[in-house]
Amino acid sequence: MEDLQDGWERRESRSKPGQLYYIHPESGKTQWEAPLKKRRLQDTHEEEKKVPQQASVDGGLFSGLPEASSVTCDPKTSLAEGPPKPVTHVRALHLLKKHTGSRRPSSWREKVIKRTLEEATHDIKQLRKQIAAGKTDEERQAEFERLAKKESDCSSAHEGGSLGRFGRGKMQPAFEQAAFALKVNELSGIVTSDSGVHIILRVE
């Protein structure tokens, strides 16, 4: 086994299969002769004579070696970012309209809710239009909070519809799926759950 100088590696040439060459990945240098640690004086003298020739060869035959070209990059160059991390928590506002088919057809606004699913859906669509009319994210959020305090059948109405920050598995499946699918400051479509019909605004 050859006793190579520190940092040198032996590889097989792709352009000339079966022929070996030597590469120093850190500096990007390549050469045909093995850079051995212990050399006779005569070998060292011969190597010095080949240095000028090597410099000219690097731009010719060696320039086609993918291994040599791939290690000439700045080692400090940052790697490309990987795929975005999955969302584990969101912060959202919601506005709920219950109906006779809701799990609990009662709220702080109405002791007994008598509206139908169709009526609840119509009402929430109208509220969504008002919110979506805002020109900026701030305007839409302010209008959402204002309407939630007045119109939402959820106890979160007193907090402007805020549900705080929550993770997966904390909400009803349909609601959770819709909330986590939103981008920040995005307003959902009509979301139906066992509680009723909702609109959701993700704020974080």
Q: Looking at 102, 154, 156, 193, which residue is catalytic?
A: 154
| Residue 152 designated active-site | no
Look at the block and give the residue holding tokens 């909400």: 171
| Residue 195 designated active-site | yes
| Residue 89 designated active-site | no
Please state, in angstroms and rounded to a whole number, the distance separating the CA atoms of residues 116 and 124: 12
Q: Looking at 99, 102, 107, 198, which residue is catalytic?
A: 198
| Residue 141 designated active-site | no
Per-residue burial over 21-36, b = 16 or more CB atoms within 10 Å of its CB, e = otherwise: bbbbbeeebbbeeebe
Q: Which residues contact 101 (CB under 8 A, 6 or more apart)?
A: 116, 117
Q: Looking at 94, 107, 141, 162, which residue is catalytic?
A: 94
Compute the half-sphere exposure of residue 139: CA atoms within 13 Å on the CB side of its CA. Answer: 7
> 22, 107, 98, 100: which is closest to 65 by C-alpha?
22
| Residue 198 designated active-site | yes
Please state, in angstroms and rounded to a whole number, the distance separating the CA atoms of residues 91 and 165: 4
Kindly list the strands in the beta sheet with 89-97, ordered across the sheet, starting from the edge strand earlier in the chain: 162-167, 89-97, 196-202, 191-193
Q: Looking at 13, 54, 130, 172, which residue is catalytic?
A: 172
Q: Which residues are catalytic?
A: 94, 154, 172, 195, 198
